[in-house]
Amino acid sequence: MNCVLGPDNILHDTLLFRVIYEGVGNVLPCGLSYVVAGLAIMMLLVNGVLLGAGLFSWVERRLIGRFHNRIGPNRWGPFGSLQPLADLVKLLFKEDLTPRGADRIVFAIVPVAMLAPVVLMMAVVPFAKDTALANLNVGVLYILAVTSITSIAIFMAGWSSDNRYAMWGASRGVAILISYEVPVVMSLLGVVLVAGSMSLDDVVSAQTVPFLLVQPLAFFVFFAGTSAELNRTPFDLAEAESEIIAGYHIEYSGVKFALIQAAEFGAVLTSSAVMVTLFLSGWSGPVSNYLGWAWFLMKIGVLAFIFSWIRATFPRLRIDQLLAFAWKFLLPLSIINLFATALEVYFLRDGSGALDTTDLWIMAGINFGVAFGCLLIFGTLIKEKVRPAGPVTGATLSPGEAD
Amino acid sequence: MAVQQLTGEELSERVGAAVPDSVVASDDGILFVEPAKIADVAGFMKSDSRLDFNFLNSISAVDYINHFEVVYHLTSMNKHHTAIVKTRLDGRDELTLPSVYHLWRGADFQEREIWDLMGISFSGHPNLKRIMLWEGFDGHPLRKDYL
Amino acid sequence: MPIQTEPMTVNIGPQHPSTHGVFRLRVTFDGEDILEVEPIFGYLHRGTEKLAEERNYTQIVTLTDRLDYVSSMINNQAYCLAVEELIGVEVPQRAKYLRTLTAELQRVASHLMGIGFFLQDLGTLGTPLMYAFRLRERILDLFEMLCGARITVSYMRPGGVFFDAPDDFWPALEQFLKDFDTEYKELEQLILENEIVMVRTRGVSLLPLELAINNSVSGPSLRASGSDWDWRKMAPYDAYDRMEFDIPTATGGDNYDRFWVRIQEIHQSIRMVRQCIQQIEPGPIRADVPLVLRPEPGAEAYGRVEASKGELAFYLVSDGGISPYRCKVRSPSLMNLTTIEHLLVGWKLADMIVTLGSLDINLGEVDR
């Protein structure tokens, strides 16, 4: 019996989906085969995210090793590429401890709660033309909503661990996540204004000029905000190893710790995927009808490399400096960006509300100017007043000259 | 520019004049002082404008079986000279000295260590607890009759 | 409506990745602000002073290695100076130059470790640490060539040094000096002008000069507060009276200044190493001193050096026997720690770790 997809179904009508749907539809009733097809593609995505997390953990360790002028993992497999597998096996065999005073149910739910947003975000990201799991017309809103589950998960981890260091890490983490949500949301509104729609497919097709150029301020704010939400250096205060040892996941061991680490690394990849979709024109590039997914993965790789690069280079900021950075620097920048974008869209759009390529280039030029101006002004405004250097005897360089 | 060490005789003249009944003896390098007056002598040596000993290098205690000696090494950073001051405490039990904590904060941990390891207590020290060993330890290990 | 909060007392350490050894701080926090600090140490107390009373003067050199275990050459030097003052012997010229050379190399290694871990505490996840350790490994290889050990060297003896430098030491040293400039400049470029390092460390945990002198602080921490007191210039020993070097000082006394002073001292130490290589001449490396020494009964000596962390001194009292009657170690890290309460109260948790790193204490010295 042939099952036909309704016009308003939420899942994308990709080739793979259709094959499974019709294949299973011969055996099972149509509704059930719809569910099965959806689950099959979902399994692909979940496995992809987890494998990607493992792979990224290896890539990051080798990259940071090279930045440190040393080798990185090189024992298991060619160039140490089976290291994540070795780590996984080790963690599986470790004893899974729950502290005596811990809240057992909450303690156990936390790894799942941390992994869920990561995987859920991948549901709307298009890998190639018309190739995403779901075809939501509020894709951007969905992504923003799902990422805020992470802050609850971190707080659950800290609270249920019955440990002061964990509580510290959790409080810091929640403060950071809440503060950085606001500029991130505001920066995405600029993108939505230019694209004219919240659906991620439409955002990609609207990027005849990549939004990196059209919305440089939004990209900068989104990049910084996402670094903070992912707890990456220089914003990794919630799990600062040299201060509070491991922060909110100090009491986790074994499989639970493996899942939390997978969530952390996977989050980097999915956030890079979202950034590629929104700002770097997603899967488009030459020959994108066939190689869209290759371009997509390559762009994710570039962004992940940049995340690792920044992690290897910078020290971390203190909590009050972090919060000042979010509220006094990123938020005004994102509001100015929104304002400027709204004005440009209002004046440049044609009758049907669309923007063509020349309009986008004009906007790019104006926005770059706005970006430089704002970064200069706000950069000097929030610069902390450092004490001027005093006289120095007999040395080649005085402390103040380093400024 | 090099630092000179003041001789015991020079010191004993000035200190003896300022703080009466304090100097016991003096020889080539060292000034010996009455234990009860050590804080006053130290105060004089710190505040006097020609001596001006503003830096306390170290306080050490030596166990000579019948008596203990506490040695103070001082330095003046402005006048570029050093001095050695010693006091002698007879007996082995219930030894106390006035503390110089109020003059040089650097005496804080050193006096606690001497109390902990040698058993000489310092009156006037705000926090005379054991420092290297734990509270409740029995005995003073650096003494000659311990082990 | 005011929210009721409660201050929280936490133990930082003794097991902690960033306390520079087994060091415990009992801190009372109000959120992230520090209200009270109580340092507790003694976890590494090994009874060095008591053990020294059982060993003869030459054997104690091995005990002194382990005091400040990242700068053992300088510990040896301080002890040997004290013994030489006790028995009144003059060290031959070549031995003086070898001592100065190795002490300055050791100072570089110790400062590199201090700088590396200071930056690690700031959260850089190891990149500047690895750059600093790359250089330190070269120095430790040189030490291994010289005396067979990397960390606890026991290179010096009362009267001179133990072993003359082998023939392949001097070319290796030249190669190290040649590579040092480029590699050290990489580290400086990475971290000296980094905005985040400045913002985290400038103006934090200020130590005024009077308080530093009153608390018997010495070494780079004192020089970062404004004094230019350095025992190598004030009471020169070994070959330091023939060395030309500057003393870097800063005036603020904050974390950045202490870090900066150490970076500059490395430059000065390398300068002195170059001068030593030029000025050294062949000759005996040890004075004619018996292996088992018996100083005069009643003699005493206070031998001090400018160690990498401050003034390190040995107060030796002799009773005529083969072991000292009393061997007291004046350790710089213990004195520098007296300021810890002033430096920490009023600042935040994140600053606490960084301040401990900038003071550069070593628990081997503090506890002995």
CB contacts under 8 A, C 3-42 vs B, are 41-42
Both tokens assigned to C137:
């490994």
Coil vs helix vs strand at B63: strand
pLDDT at A390: 37
Please write the tens of the pLDDT for every residue from C44-56.
888 888 898 888 8
Average pLDDT in chain B: 83
Does the pLDDT value for residue C41 go beyond 90? Answer: no
Please give the tally of structural domains in chain C.
1
Please write the tens of the pLDDT for every residue from A327-351.
888 898 899 889 988 888 888 777 6
Please write the tens of the pLDDT for every residue from A122-162.
888 888 777 777 778 888 899 989 888 888 898 888 888 88
pLDDT at A8: 65
Chain B, nearest residue to C227 by Cα: B77
CB-CB: which of B56, B58, B77 is closest to C313? B58
**Minimal CA separation from B142 to chain C, in Å:** 6
Any C CB within 8 A of B63 CB: yes
**Minimal CA separation from A242 to chain C, in Å:** 6
Please write the tens of the pLDDT for every residue from A187-224.
988 888 888 888 888 888 888 888 888 888 899 899 99
Q: Over A262-282, what HEC string results? A: HHHHHHHHHHHHHHHHHHCCC
Task: Show the CA angle centred on residue C57, arms to residues C55 and C60, nearest 5°.
Answer: 60
Tell me phi and psi for residue B49, to 5 degrees: -75, -25
Q: Identify the residue whose tokens are 């062949």.
A: C282
DSSP strand pairing (B4-5 vs C8-12): unpaired
Q: Over chain C, what HEC string results? A: CCCCCCCEEEEECCCCCCCCCCCEEEEEEECCEEEEEEEECCCCCCCHHHHHCCCCCCCHHHHHHCCCCCCHHHHHHHHHHHHHHHHCCCCCHHHHHHHHHHHHHHHHHHHHHHHHHHHHHHCCCCHHHHHHHHHHHHHHHHHHHHHCCCCCCCCEECCEECCCCCCCHHHHHHHHHHHHHHHHHHHHHHHCCCHHHHHHHCCCCCCCHHHHHHCCCCCHHHHCCCCCCCHHHHCCCCCHHHCCCCCCCCCCCCHHHHHHHHHHHHHHHHHHHHHHHHHCCCCCCECCCCCCCCCCCCCEEEEEEEECCEEEEEEEECCCCCCCCEEEEECHHHHHHHHHHHHHCCCEHHHHHHHHHHHCCCHHHHHC
Any C CB within 8 A of B78 CB: no
Q: How far apart are CA B58 and CA C49, in angstroms?
A: 15
One-letter amino acid at B128 equals: L
> Is residue C2 situated within a structural domain?
no
The average pLDDT across A253-264 equals: 88
> Is residue C3 situated within a structural domain?
no
pLDDT at A398: 38
Any B CB within 8 A of C232 CB: no
End-to-end alpha carbon distance in chain A: 75
Q: How far apart are CA A29 and CA A322, in angstroms?
A: 55
Average pLDDT in chain C: 87
Q: Could C351 and A318 be called an inter-chain contact, meaning their C-beta atoms sit closer than 8 Å?
A: yes
CB C354 within 8 A of CB C201: yes
Does the pLDDT value for residue C106 go beyond 90? Answer: yes
Does the pLDDT value for residue C147 go beyond 60? Answer: yes
Does the pLDDT value for residue A245 go beyond 70? Answer: no
Q: How far apart are CA C118 and CA C351, in angstroms?
A: 11
pLDDT at C291: 79
Both tokens assigned to A105:
């149910």
Q: How far apart are CA B101 and CA A179, in angstroms?
A: 48
Q: How far apart are CA B58 and CA B86, in angstroms?
A: 12
- The domain segmentation of chain B, as residue ranges, is 4-91
Q: Could C216 and B131 be called an inter-chain contact, meaning their C-beta atoms sit closer than 8 Å?
A: no
pLDDT at A353: 64
Q: How far apart are CA C83 and CA C303, in angstroms?
A: 8
Percent above pLDDT 70 for chain C? 99
Percent above pLDDT 90 for chain A? 9
> Is residue C1 situated within a structural domain?
no
Instruction: State which H helix or E strand residue B44 sits in.
Output: helix B38-47
Both tokens assigned to A120:
């859920």
Please write the tens of the pLDDT for every residue from B95-115.
888 888 888 888 888 899 998
pLDDT at A301: 92
Tell me phi and psi for residue A287, to 5 degrees: 55, 40
pLDDT at C171: 92
Q: What is the rounded (10 degree) CA torsion for A397, A400, B1, B7?
A: -140
The average pLDDT across B124-134 equals: 86
CB-CB: which of A320, A387, A398 is closest to C202? A387
All residues of chain C having their beta carbon less than 8 Å from the beta carbon of residue A318 are 200, 348, 350-351
pLDDT at A306: 92
- The domain segmentation of chain A, as residue ranges, is 99-382
Of the pLDDT bands very low, low, confident and very high (cuts 50, 70, 90), residue C77 is: very high
CB A396 within 8 A of CB C267: yes
Asked which of A59-68, A237-246, A304-313, C181-190 is least confident by mean pLDDT, the reply is: A237-246
Percent above pLDDT 70 for chain A? 88
Average pLDDT in chain A: 81
DSSP state of B28: S
> Is residue C306 situated within a structural domain?
yes
Asked which of A318-322, B16-20, B60-64 is least confident by mean pLDDT, the reply is: B16-20
CB atoms within 10 A of CB C224: 29
Both tokens assigned to A8:
């308003």
Q: How far apart are CA C18 and CA C25, in angstroms?
A: 12
CATH topology of domain B4-91: Beta Polymerase; domain 2 (3.30.460)
Tell me phi and psi for residue A358, to 5 degrees: -65, -40
Any B CB within 8 A of C216 CB: yes
DSSP state of B145: T
Q: How far apart are CA C239 and CA A308, in angstroms?
A: 48
Q: Could B132 and C45 be called an inter-chain contact, meaning their C-beta atoms sit closer than 8 Å?
A: yes
Question: Measuring CA to CA, how many Å separate C166 from each of A131, C73, C146?
Answer: 70, 18, 7
Mutation pick from C44, C232, C302, C342 vs chain B, by most beta carbons of B within 10 Å, is C302
Tell me phi and psi for residue A272, to 5 degrees: -65, -40
Please write the tens of the pLDDT for every residue from C279-306.
888 888 888 888 788 888 888 888 889 9
ipTM, 2 dp: 0.89
Any C CB within 8 A of A17 CB: no
pLDDT at A384: 61
Please write the tens of the pLDDT for every residue from C326-342.
999 999 999 998 888 88
All residues of chain B having their beta carbon less than 8 Å from the beta carbon of residue C321 are none
Of the pLDDT bands very low, low, confident and very high (cuts 50, 70, 90), residue A395 is: very low
Of the pLDDT bands very low, low, confident and very high (cuts 50, 70, 90), residue A387 is: very low
| CA-CA-CA-CA torsion sign (C329, C46, A244, C35) | negative
* Structural domain boundaries, residue C116: 8-367
pLDDT at C109: 93
**Minimal CA separation from A302 to chain C, in Å:** 21
Taking CB atoms and an 8 Å cut-off, how many pairs form between chains A and C? 130
Does the pLDDT value for residue C107 go beyond 90? Answer: yes
pLDDT at A351: 65
pLDDT at A241: 58
